[in-house]
Structure 1
Amino acid sequence: MEKLANNTLSLWREENSLLIPQNFEVFRNLVAEARDFADRGNYNAAAVYAEIAAFHAQFKHCGLFNSPELENILLTIGRQITQTTLAPTPEPSLSKRPKNILHVSTNISSPFGGIPRFIRRWIQQDTQRSHSLALTKQAPNEVPQILTELVSNSHGKIFLLNETIGGFVSRAKRLRKIAATADIVVLHIWEHDVIPIIAFANKELSPPIIYVNHGDHCFWLGAAVSDVVANLRESGMRLSQKRRGIEAERNMLLPTILEPSHRQLSRTQAKQQLGIDENSTLLLSIARAPKYRKTDGISFADAHVPLLKKHDRAILVVIGPGGSEDWSTAIQQTQGRIIALGHTEDTAVYYQAADIYVDSYPFVSITSLLEAGSYGVPLVSRYPYSSDACEILGADMPGLTGNLIRVHDLEEYTTVLSRLVADEELRLSLGEATRRRIVEVHMGSNWQHNLEEVYTRAASLPRVKVTSSAMDQMFITEPDVFWIRDHSWNCELDDMIQPRLPIMPFEQRLYHWMRLAKKHGWQNQISLLLPEWFRLRYYLPLRSVLKMGNRQ
């Protein structure tokens, strides 16, 4: 099994060593196009090409975790569109406690996504301040009701930047104006969102900016405008300094905030509620389907067959993949003791029933680890890499340090799980130690203390300054050569361009529409020629009404 793992790592290294230069070349061409448009004063086109470049780098690793060159183009655009009506924002001091917080995100349609949950819990915890929310690409999606109520109750407002006519530059101007009344701006943006970088290019016109490092394992924009980077885990903080050039004093740790978990059921009661034998040992895993991708020809279910054959009262329940993977052979070999379910929002009863939590593989799911651990469940995660250089690809979090069990190969994995299955006292003691540590770090007043330190640092440091326009440097080392994205959709260049046609200036929109129509035969995609504001305000609502009429 160890040989299989080594073979896989060698294959990933070989494949990515060839792919990274190819991806980097595409990225360089996109950056050059963005720069060319910016030099000609076509800032909206430049911004769209910059976003395509960032999206490409995010999903097709280029040996980069940030791009000074690309951010410099966005800063140039932002400085060229300066609104002279805004007065410089005074440098805050330690004596001024921030009261008005502006959270900025891209799209938060689902209340159960990582970023919406983080914002929601932040506002719920930080009750002594007013919280507003600006969203760069929300319309026509609804803002979740719970967030609308929380913002309103804190005396804040919600702003949908793409509701009005205009392109990325117009949105950036509006965001800059909205932020003028905020004491602190917190960026929870998607990694390729260019609008906040343009909006806050002039630091003397901007409040202090905190960037929350939600996507610490991949490329993102924002380093050039962020006065503090709030990393959610230690590995992300180290990578921010090493590969993103974040200065040590601006590089902080802000653990993921969790809501208090209250056990309503004993393990026995929870198993009974789920129809699971109360005398069984339940292994649980919860993550999105792509995180359970088959590797080495071995599925996530296959990896547990030796354990389940050895312990005939052990059961594995996996929530997320549903039928996306064919696990029928492993299920048959274990007499049906592997149960794969689709996504469910009600996971609390499963956490309360679990005896052991096993992390998703080959992609970790840290939020699920934290949530399981908060119920006193011992945690096991696989880390196949031979050095700490790849730590960003593994599972770590302040509340997990010292208690999470990490194993390197399947043989060790089976041994560790077998010991936990056989030793109830060990499971209970490790689970309780994990629960206590998570509560200490990730909940209530303890988390609030960390937040206050981040606010204070952002308010007291001089505004960040970009002192050089460094050239982007491609790396073909660890962790780059082992970087794989937990996505199954196709991310070819045309797939990135097509959804952005409506936001492009008309000349570029028409050019790409004709090119793609000729290439793909888009007779039914004429609507992509409509500007985005018109599609959102008129075309999409009308199409929705017509569809409803046809159903009736």
Structure 2
Amino acid sequence: MPRPQDHVPGVLAQNRGHYELLVAMVRHYAERGDVEHVLRAAMLAANYAWWAPTGLLSDLRLERTVVSAVRGSGSVTVDGDRRGGRVLHVLSEAYSIGGHTRLAWRWMERDERIGDVVLTNQDGAVPERLAESVRASGGELFDLRAEFPGLLDRARALRAHMDRADVVVLHVHPYDAIALAAANLPGVRPPVVYENHADLSFWLGVGAADVLCDLRPVVRTLDVDLRRVPGDRIAVLPMPVEEMPAADDGELRARLGIRPDAVVALTVSDDWKVASASGRAMHDVVDKLLHFSPRLTYVLVGVTPNAHWTRLGKRYPGRLFVVGKVLDVAPYLSLADIYLESYPSFAGTSPLEAALCGLPVVGLADVPADEPAHVFQRWSPGLAERSAATSAGRLAVTVHRLAADPELRQRDGAEARASVRALHDNPGWRGALEALYERARSVPAVDLDDLGESATDDRYRTLFTTFNAAPATVDPRGTVRPLGELYDSTLEADLTAAMFRGTPSPVQVRVAARWEDHPAWTARLLALAGTWPRLRVSLPFVADDDVSGTATVARLTDLLASVGRTTEDCGDVALEHTPSPAVSALPGELVFSSEALDRLEELVASALWQDTPAAAAHARVPEPVAG
């Protein structure tokens, strides 16, 4: 097995460092009693840990901070005796493309109860199929982001919707602090089931999971050992899938340009599941398959074309098609003869859907069974009993046999279909659903104080990072999208301050040219520099000055005097043609607007900027005198 790539330990350490800064922000707001910003910063921290592997799959420290902020001295009690025939399904964001949204609407369609849906952070149109499922059940759909701008208000509104239900099912994103907060507002609420669709990733919500609903049993060890979920609070419910209606593949085959006698292998995947990791690459596997089976044509759906696929397409003209994301995969399933599982990470929904269409499902699982990363290459129930190839060569032989023998494809596909249908699409599934609800009704509200601390396993952590980490660490400022307009100036300033905290030199800001034409603005900037010693201001020379900077020094001296400063006590202000190299510097140039100075002032006043945070609360910036 290839060893972890050299960059992995460094990426892991940097990601963890960034994450700890975000957790410090959450605690900072909690200490100030700012619950709204506790939730915003917690959402940012959780989203970062989801995208940037840190070695954690949960963080009970972070969850306790959120719960304490919203609960205060109150307590939560579960009422498991509600029998009103209503289930509330909660999603952060719903998509037309994506397995977890399909899972939610299929769940509702198979449950005889009324199904309501609350969206906590929807950014875009609501999928019509989801809305149809809600209407068909007699339920209602609520978009909290459209109605309540703040996260705390959304949490309170969600709790009010919870109070109408017998059971609550969370299908939320890993970043969703709203659901965690709502489940922990003081008082009596219905039991909460957390549906674990992101079972290999970090997620926020252990403290909301009266029962954790896994979709496959293989992740139980991760839940217990790394997330600290008690074993008696874990249940398994096979993913609800449905057979897609057959579609006419003739038009699609003609549009793609696939020859009539070709045997088509299909993969439906996200980018990350086929990204190169630890010497493993999907495009290398496909290369071997296409070389070994001349009749084979390969279609890859959902993945963004890149240089690897372009080169492979040139090597096998007319036999490789990377089509990107599509709204409806049914025509592609009808087109296919063989389903090829994504690699190096297996998918969840797509291979089950392919099996229900009668396709033989094949895959490559080359991580040894005793390695923690083996969980990335395990099928869901219904396919788990099938043997995946353990090398690319063996996979090539399997695919070649299927490509050459239509009867073998039919038999293999029929077996896969029967196995998946037995677990995922029959009355037995509904019985398992009822058992899950009863399990949730029978336990008290989860108590984070009983769960200890989140843990990391060094062996799993390294391999997890190897499978998922980018070559470089992730900047937290690049993961703020879920907050939208709630990523306000306070968060921006505190996050920037936190990122610079501990640096060995002042943080430098370069001022744009012609500052001398903006005396009031520059005077205010100089007042900041004189008050906050960690700020370094770099000023370019004024226009048409002599080599000694006579005019520049004179203009600066006048402006300093206007705010009661001299060149001796003005702080770190430098006159220079080009800014000096700095360990820490704000990007770009500071422009002449009051908003730019407001943001800078908020940054230097941040308690997270200071070596001694208490000093920030008492520091005052003198008001500049208009020049």
The answer to whether the Cα contact below 8 Å between 1:34 and 1:46 also exists between their aligned partners in 2 is: yes
1:283 alignment partner in structure 2: 265
Aligned to 2:423: 441
8 Å CA contact 1:237, 1:252 repeated in 2: no
Alpha carbons 1:268, 1:278 under 8 Å: kept: no
Match of 1:186 among 152, 165, 169: 169
1:84-109 C-alpha deviation (Å, 9 max, x unpaired): 9xxx766324xx5461111111111x
Determine the structure 2 residue equivalent to 1:313.
Answer: 295
Gaps of 5+ in 2: 500-508, 510-585, 600-627
Q: 1:526 to 1:191 in 2, by over 3 A?
A: farther
Alignment correspondent of 2:178: 195
Asked if the contact 1:69–1:470 (Cα under 8 Å) also holds between the matched residues in 2, the reply is no
Please give the secondary structure, in 2, of the residue aligned with 1:192.
coil
2:587 is matched with which residue: 519, 540, 543?
A: 519
How far the C-alpha of 1:194 sits from its partner, in A, is: 0.6
Q: Which residue number corresponds to residue 136 of structure 1?
A: 120
Q: CA deviation at 1:78?
A: 1.9
Q: Distance in 2 between matches of 1:249 and 1:514?
A: 43
Residues 1:116 and 1:329: Cα distance change in structure 2 (over 3 Å): closer
Structure 1 counterpart of 2:79, from 91, 99, 110: 91
Contact 1:203 1:463 (8 Å CA) reproduced: no
Which of the residues 172, 177, 181 maps onto 2:160? 177
Which of these residues, 28, 49, 71, is aligned with residue 79 of structure 1? 71
Q: Structure 2 vs 1, CA of residues 375 and 187 (structure 1 numbering), >3 Å: closer, same or farther?
A: same
| Residue identity opposite 2:64 in structure 1 | N
For normalisation by structure 2, the TM-score amounts to 0.73
Aligned match of 1:228? 211
Pairwise mapping of residues 253-402 of structure 1 onto structure 2 (< 5 A)?
253-263=236-246, 276-294=258-276, 300-321=282-303, 323-388=305-370, 389-402=372-385
Q: SS where residue 341 of structure 1 aligns?
A: strand
Question: How far off is 1:133 after superposition?
Answer: 1.2
Alignment pair present for 1:431 and 2:397: no
1:38 aligns with 2:37: no
CA distance in 1, matches of 2:158, 2:73: 13
Q: Secondary structure at the match of 2:363?
A: strand
Contact 1:44/1:504 (8 A) holds in 2: no
How far apart are the structure 1 equivalents of 2:286 and 2:464? 24
Cα distance in 1 for residues equivalent to 2:595 and 2:231 = 50
2:437 maps to: 455
Per-residue deviation at 1:162? Answer: 2.1
* Equivalent AA in structure 2 for residue 358 of structure 1: L
Alignment partner of 1:178: what SS?
helix
Matches within 5 A, 1:106-145: 106-108=92-94, 110-126=95-111, 128-138=112-122, 141-145=124-128
Q: Quick one: which amino acid aligns to residue 18 of structure 2?
A: V
**Letter aligned with residue 25 of structure 2:** E
Rounded to whole Å, the distance in 1 between the matches of 2:405 and 2:259 is 18
Q: How many residues align?
A: 510
RMSD between aligned residues: 3.4
Cα distance in structure 2, aligned partners of 1:469 and 1:89:
18
Partner amino acid for 1:250?
R
Spell out, residue by residue over 1:200-237, the C-alpha distance to the aligned partner (whole angstroms, 9 max, x if none). Answer: 11475221000000100100111112111111112223
Task: Deviation per CA, 1:245-273: give whole Å up to 9, x if none.
Answer: 222221111111112334466x9999689
Residue identity opposite 1:190 in structure 2: H
| Of 3, 6, 9, the match for 1:10 | 3
- 1:340 partner letter: V
> Aligned partners of 1:499 and 1:234: how far apart in 2?
30
Q: CA deviation at 1:310?
A: 3.5
Q: Tell me the distance in 1 between the aligned counterparts of 2:87 and 2:379.
A: 29
Q: Which residue of 2 aligns with 1:542?
A: none
For the residues of structure 2 that align with 1:25 and 1:320, how far apart are their CA atoms? 33
8 Å Cα contact 1:318-1:341 kept in structure 2: yes
User: Do the aligned partners of 2:22 and 2:495 also contact (CA within 8 Å) in 1?
Assistant: no
Give, as a single letter, the amino acid of the residue that structure 2 aligns with 1:107.
E
Looking at structure 1, the residues matched to 390 and 79 of structure 2 have their Cα atoms a distance apart, in angstroms, of: 49
Which residues in structure 2 correspond to 1:400-419 (within 5 Å)?
400-403=383-386, 405-419=387-401
Give the secondary structure class of the aligned counterpart of 2:207. coil
Q: Secondary structure at the match of 2:388?
A: strand
Write the distance in 1 (CA, Å) between the matches of 2:186 and 2:192: 9
Task: Report how far residue 294 of structure 1 moved.
Answer: 4.2
TM-score computed with the length of structure 1 as normaliser:
0.82
One-letter identity of the residue aligned with 1:312: P
Give, as a single letter, the amino acid of the residue that structure 2 aligns with 1:10: R
Give the deviation of 1:425 after TM superposition.
3.5
Tell me by how many angstroms 1:76 deviates: 0.2
Distance 1:402 1:255 in 2: 14
Q: Give distance in 1, aligned partners of 2:425 and 2:230.
A: 28
* Paired residue type of 1:448: R
Select between 194-203 and 487-496 the one with higher mean Cα deviation: 487-496
Partner of 2:196: 213
8 Å CA contact 1:78, 1:197 repeated in 2: no
| Counterpart-to-counterpart distance in 2, 1:314 and 1:321 | 20
Question: Residues 480, 253 of structure 1: CA spacing in aligned structure 2 closer, same or farther, 3 A cutoff?
Answer: farther
Residues 267-319 of structure 1 show CA distances to partners (whole Å, capped at 9, x for unaligned) of 99996897644433221112234433345788634433343333322222222
- The alpha-carbon distance between structure 1 residues 526 and 151, as it changes in their structure 2 partners (threshold 3 A), is farther
Secondary structure at the aligned position of 2:88 is classed as strand
Counterpart code for 1:461:
V
Q: 1:250 to 1:39 in 2, by over 3 A?
A: same
Identify which range, 455-464 or 205-214, moves more after superposition.
455-464
| Structure-2 residue corresponding to 1:27 | 19
Among 16, 31, 39, which residue is 1:47 paired with? 39
Contact conserved, 2:227 with 2:454, CA < 8 A, in 1? Answer: no
CA distance in 2, matches of 1:104, 1:489: 34
Greater relative CO (CA pairs within 8 A, separation 6+): 1
